[in-house]
């Protein structure tokens, strides 16, 4: 039976869709069968990030309304992996076009056909959020090291716990190790202390993420990308929780700089 | 020249005053979340007060009407402030037995040890009776 994982955040723009696309592609690259569902009705995006925007015939609303024979007809196969599919959201409908019971039913059907069902949740805590979490077993809460994003993540964790979703893990995105070191950014430890949920992974800020989404290619396939590297660790941890979280800042130059500045800091202090 | 030097990472570290906004973010977030979680659970203070009163009733009689329970900001740290006028403390016979002990910690450790010894002793006795 497949695992249904919702990727959510509360705040918009923290990287939910990017995370969903990369985690989905990463799991597929490890031989798992995966479907990613864009549940943001009216604001379709996942297809564009994965470069599949020209292949959409049916969408999520068509499936729940029974406009296509089965969900299989609406699934779009990825260009890179035969075992990765997406279900696009409806662009011209309202959030209430889908009901939580319908999502639950769809997730149940998909569980039998796939190893992983990733739900890309819309921002906010209204209908779209309620739909996205209705059929989920697990949750990945995406946040950034900013007060507003962390505060919203706390609210989301509360709502997920109230919905009795047991396995809730934190994905800290857009981490800037240099800025944390200077004392200008919340650290991973700070955020874990505040939210007190298990850390799934930390993804550094990386220009190559934009570069990847420009081309419709997930960054996880970009071996030069620091964020892609971090997502490979996240995927490894989803498959095996015993894998440790990798720290984002591991280049030789940054290690050297860290050692140097730590010594100088100690001398100056 | 000075500004050029300041742009170099090492000189920057030596001479520039450290701008720390991380701890401000941490402290502000923490106290904002205390407020948030309280708003989300409007009955939190009522339930907390009820449970504290229930616990206190094992030791004393409090003036519930005149009691004050509130969350206050103390130098940026959220603090639960409880002020309870005590009408009287319960008499020896009504208090929990432990409350009369000279030192609670040592006693309870000893009690635990005794418990373990007792249990071990009993099982040994049991085994010996089996062998007999």
Over residues A247-259, the pLDDT tens digits come to 876 556 666 665 6
* Cβ A84 vs Cβ A28: under 8 Å: yes
* pLDDT value at B130 more than 70: no
* pLDDT value at B121 more than 50: no
Rounded to 5 degrees, φ, ψ at B121 are -60, -45
Q: Please indicate if any CB of chain A lies within 8 Å of the CB of B101.
A: no
Rg (CA), chain A: 19
Closest CA to B22 of A16, A15, A178: A178
Indicate the DSSP class of residue A61.
H
A147·B25 Cβ contact <8 A: yes
At residue A33 the predicted structure's pLDDT band, cuts being 50, 70 and 90, is: very high
Q: Tell me the shortest Cα–Cα distance from B32 to chain A, in angstroms.
A: 8
A186·B29 Cβ contact <8 A: yes
Q: Tell me the shortest Cα–Cα distance from B27 to chain A, in angstroms.
A: 10
Of A184, A190, A268, the CB nearest to B13: A268
Residue A27: CB atoms within 10 Å: 27
* pLDDT value at A267 more than 70: no
Q: Tell me the shortest Cα–Cα distance from B51 to chain A, in angstroms.
A: 22
* pLDDT value at B12 more than 60: no
Indicate the DSSP class of residue B18.
P
What is the C-alpha to C-alpha distance for residues A162 and A157, in angstroms, rounded to an integer?
8
Q: Which residues of A touch B22 (CB under 8 A)?
A: 180, 183-187, 190
What is the C-alpha to C-alpha distance for residues A191 and A194, in angstroms, rounded to an integer?
5
pLDDT score for B71: 85
Of B20, B22, B33, the CB nearest to A151: B33
Q: Which residues of A touch B21 (CB under 8 A)?
A: 183-185
Output the CA angle A255-A256-A257, nearest 5 degrees.
Answer: 90
What is the C-alpha to C-alpha distance for residues A116 and A191, in angstroms, rounded to an integer?
28
Residue A254: CB atoms within 10 Å: 14
* pLDDT value at B118 more than 80: no
Q: Tell me the shortest Cα–Cα distance from B19 to chain A, in angstroms.
A: 7
Tens-place pLDDT, residues B76-112: 777 899 999 999 999 888 898 888 888 766 555 555 5
Q: Which of residues 241-260 of A touch B (CB under 8 A)?
A: 257, 260
pLDDT score for B129: 39
B21, closest residue in chain A (CA to CA): A184
Tens-place pLDDT, residues A148-195: 999 999 999 999 999 999 899 999 999 999 999 889 999 999 999 999
Rounded to 5 degrees, φ, ψ at A32 are -85, 150
Mean per-residue pLDDT of chain A:
92
Q: Which residues of B touch A257 (CB under 8 A)?
A: 9
pLDDT score for B35: 83
């Amino acid at each position: 039976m497949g695992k249904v994982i919702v990727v959510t955040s509360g705040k918009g723009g923290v990287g939910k869709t990017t995370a969903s696309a990369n985690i989905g592609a990463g799991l597929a690259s490890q031989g798992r069968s995966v479907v990613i569902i864009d549940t943001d009705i009216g604001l379709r995006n996942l297809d564009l990030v994965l470069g599949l925007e020209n292949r959409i015939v049916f969408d999520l609303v068509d499936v729940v309304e029974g406009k296509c024979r089965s969900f299989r007809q609406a699934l779009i196969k990825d260009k890179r992996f035969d075992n990765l599919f997406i279900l696009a959201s409806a662009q011209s409908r309202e959030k209430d076009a889908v009901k939580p019971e319908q999502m639950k039913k769809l997730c149940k059907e998909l569980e039998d056909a796939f190893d992983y069902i990733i739900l890309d949740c819309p921002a906010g805590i209204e209908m779209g959020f309620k739909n996205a979490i209705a059929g989920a077993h697990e949750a990945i809460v995406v946040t950034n090291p900013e007060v507003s994003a962390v505060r919203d993540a706390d609210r989301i964790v509360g709502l997920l716990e109230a919905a009795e979703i047991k396995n809730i893990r934190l994905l800290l995105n857009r981490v800037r190790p240099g800025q944390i070191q200077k004392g200008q950014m919340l650290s991973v430890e700070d955020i874990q202390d505040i939210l007190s949920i298990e850390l799934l992974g930390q993804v550094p800020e990386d220009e190559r993420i934009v570069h990847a989404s420009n081309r419709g290619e997930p960054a996880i396939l970009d071996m030069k990308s620091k964020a892609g590297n971090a997502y490979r660790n996240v995927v490894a941890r989803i498959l095996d929780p015993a894998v440790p979280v990798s720290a984002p800042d591991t280049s030789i130059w940054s290690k050297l700089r860290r050692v140097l500045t730590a010594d100088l800091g100690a001398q100056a202090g | 020249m000075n500004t050029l030097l300041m742009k170099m990472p090492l000189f920057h570290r030596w001479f520039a005053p450290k701008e720390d906004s991380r701890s401000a973010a941490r402290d502000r977030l923490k106290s904002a979340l205390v407020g948030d979680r309280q708003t989300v659970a409007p009955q939190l203070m009522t339930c907390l007060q009820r449970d504290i009163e229930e616990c206190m009733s094992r030791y004393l009689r409090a003036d519930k009407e005149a009691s004050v329970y509130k969350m206050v900001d103390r130098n940026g740290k959220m603090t639960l402030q409880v002020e309870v006028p005590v009408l009287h403390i319960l008499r020896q016979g009504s208090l929990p037995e432990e409350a009369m002990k000279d030192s609670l910690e040592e006693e309870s450790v000893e009690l635990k040890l005794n418990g373990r010894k007792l249990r071990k002793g009993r099982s040994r006795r049991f085994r010996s009776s089996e062998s007999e």
